[in-house]
Chains A and B, each alone.
Chain A
Amino acid sequence: MTSSRKVSSVLKYVFILIMSFISVFPFVWMVIESTNSSADILAGKMSIGDQFMVNWHNAFTQTNLIGDFWNSLKIATEVTVLSIIVASLAAYGFQIYRSRGKNWIYSIFIASMMIPFSVLMIPLYRMVSKLGLVNTAWAVVLPGIMSVFLVFFFHQSLETFPIDTIESARIDGASEIRIFWSVVLPQLRSTFAAAAIYSFMGAWNNYMWPLIVLQSDDQKTLPLLISGLSANTNFSIDYGVIMILIIISTIPIFLIFLFLQKYFVQGMTGANKG
């Protein structure tokens, strides 16, 4: 009994080690390559070199790294905050104040997840351009504030929310918005954290839509910067600089996840009750 336990426990560690290695390897490789020159990276050098400072310096001087980082941060934060507000309120409305009409609308919301983005791109661009928002951060932020997935996510977590607490608050005479703010919100902290990570990650990594609507160099986001530098038309790609840029673009989400991990798993729990 104990020996088979030991075997299974060892196997568990071996399995986790292998999977973690596969997961992490590209990151390690990326960090190692960031210390090599572009030519060495192309030649497949797999040891730490001495070009890190050169690449680092080039990344900051040859590209608009700081400006683009700020653009990315700004857009991702705005999308996160706004989409969470919109989605949590909506989910609360759908879940707590159920009615046939609202159920219908909710179903329409959910069904819309199945529409490929390519079909919306042209009409959406046409609209954004009519509103005069092309080449502004708003062109990216506004279409991002309505996330059906987040509505669904909050809706699921609210499914098990104890209605009694809301009822008793009502009896105490609290207004509906007050109940949402001071009774429901604190209880759903981890759901909010999970939604925040999810939303921020999506907005931070978003590529296709920003590419279309952001045009001048000073408005670009990090993914646009990276893809621009590695485009096929570029015959002398500096992979050293690209490695630095990829690392820098990965760090914020990494940090967010690192600090909110506990809440993330907890928050997802709610979303899973179906």
Chain B
Amino acid sequence: MKKFTKALLGLGVVLASTTLLTACGNSNSGSSSNGKTTVTIWADDPNFNVPIMKTAVKMYNAEHKNSGVTFKVQTQGDYNTKVQTVLSAGNKKNYPNIIKIEDYGSQKLISSYQNSFLTQNVDLSNFSKYKKSVVNYKGKTYGMPFDSGVSALFYRKDVFAKYGVKAKDLNNITWDQFMKLAEKVHKGSGKSILGTGALVGEDPDLVRQMLQSAGSWYFDDSGKLDVNSTAFKQSLKTVKSLKDNGLVTGYSDFNARNKALYNGNNLAVVEGAWFSASLKADKKSSGKWGIATVPRLTNVKGATNSTNEGGSSWYALNTGNAKADNAAKKFLKTMFDGNSKFYGKVLKEQAAVTTYKPAMTNKEWNTNDTFYNQKVNQYFKQNLNKIPSVSYGIHSSEVENILSGNLNNYYSGKTSLDATIKKIQSSYKSQVGSN
């Protein structure tokens, strides 16, 4: 025992001294020591935005050999928590130079930490128009638009065909028409049609996509809660009738749903373009899947068959180090608002559906996707520019948290539509408060 204590003590001293030594040699991100400037980039998806950024860095370095700038791409877990902690601590020296922010959360972060963001020089006419309201705040551009979650209806075309539903039947239809077709497949196969990555009523994915397809959101243009709109009501009604007819099933999480999709218990899904990667992970189902446009809401003015789920943009932070800040901005401008070759490469390698229009002439956008045996990217490209532009506001997370309890009550028939909306309004008021 005594030996153990001594050994532990000794080990501790040795380790403490090694830490001390390494700590001294560590320089923080964004700082420039001995003339070298470091630009730190944060991303969160090791299969998507991290390798994409690495590609961008590699291509940029090849063209700017003597820039004297080192780029570091770091993968961060629990991304949003981390970004908010770092921003709220307010020590600019510890800011990364470039961060990825999900489009739904961008207005929230920019409005909260406006002084920490750098404005960027972006030609927004180069990008899909719906991105403008995401990266702009009070008339200034803070973000470099990046990927899109342009949505599609992914469906098992083999099973649908078996019950007489062809590809052309599914394109540009309303939800009412879709339900009639889905009913046939559901009755025939006995399988559930749409799957959601959380419980229906828990995860507002479907509602979110329906709202945007009609150019609507939880808020009006002035940022006030707007759940009394026809689009919102119609979205809820649509999900309820999908649920009442057994056409939609909710799973505990994404993995559970993916499993159901892989083993054929679920036949379709409405998701952003990025979802394709999950389907392709199941190699043996190659050739069985197809994509079609997302159905549009019935009886809603401005309803379209194009919408969006997810997507993100890049933001440069004000680290107080002019050299690094400028290098970060220059890097973003050069690669993301000017380099079509880069976009072609990441489309091919990471299937990144991006919003930079000049790059859409790349031949990768028009090639046949063998997994679907369809020109999938071409479909995305055409729909990208049709996505209605909406302002996501700053309180979307709060609203969605409130929805999760209340929608369930409505879908299960416990509360009427009007009562549900009243409840959402009062909960919102009590939670967001006057502050």
Do A74 and B44 contact each other (CB < 8 Å), given the known contacts A80-B12, A122-B85, A122-B88?
A: no
The segment out of A91-99, A128-136, A152-160 that lies at the interface is A128-136
Given contacts A74-B15, A215-B82, 7 further A-B contacts (CB under 8 A): A81-B12, A82-B16, A126-B89, A211-B78, A233-B48, A234-B47, A263-B1
How far apart sit A193 and B19, CA to CA, in the bound complex (Å)?
A: 24
A196 contacts B76, C-beta separation under 8 Å:
no
For B20, the closest partner residue in chain A by CB is: A138
Minimum CB–CB distance from A157 to chain B (whole Å) comes to 15
Spell out A's residues near B (CB within 8 Å).
Answer: 42-43, 73-74, 77-78, 80-82, 121-122, 125-126, 129-130, 132-138, 141, 186, 189, 192-193, 196, 211-212, 215-217, 224, 227-228, 231-237, 260, 263
B45 contacts A234, C-beta separation under 8 Å:
yes
Number of interface residues of B (CB under 8 A): 50
Judged by DSSP, the binding face of A is helix
Find chain A residues with CB under 8 A from B23 CB: 133, 136-138
Find chain B residues with CB under 8 A from A138 CB: 19-20, 23
Spell out B's residues near A (CB within 8 Å).
Answer: 1-2, 4-5, 8-9, 11-13, 15-16, 18-20, 22-23, 26, 28-29, 44-48, 72, 74-79, 81-82, 85-86, 88-91, 93-94, 96, 253-255, 258-259, 277-278, 281
Find chain A residues with CB under 8 A from B2 CB: 186, 189
For the complex of A and B, the 7 pairs showing the least CB-CB separation, nearest first, are: A81-B12, A228-B77, A129-B91, A136-B23, A126-B89, A235-B278, A137-B19
Find chain B residues with CB under 8 A from A74 CB: 15, 18-19
How far apart sit A215 and B5, CA to CA, in the bound complex (Å)?
A: 33
Cross-interface CB contact of A78 among B5, B16, B86, cutoff 8 Å: B16
Find chain A residues with CB under 8 A from B277 CB: 235-236
Find chain A residues with CB under 8 A from B1 CB: 189, 193, 263
Cross-interface CB contact of B29 among A135, A192, A227, A260, cutoff 8 Å: A135
A212 contacts B85, C-beta separation under 8 Å:
yes
For A126, the closest partner residue in chain B by CB is: B89
Minimum CB–CB distance from B264 to chain A (whole Å) comes to 13
Minimum CB–CB distance from A26 to chain B (whole Å) comes to 18
B47 contacts A134, C-beta separation under 8 Å:
no
Find chain A residues with CB under 8 A from B255 CB: 42, 237
Find chain B residues with CB under 8 A from A217 CB: 74-75
A134 contacts B77, C-beta separation under 8 Å:
no
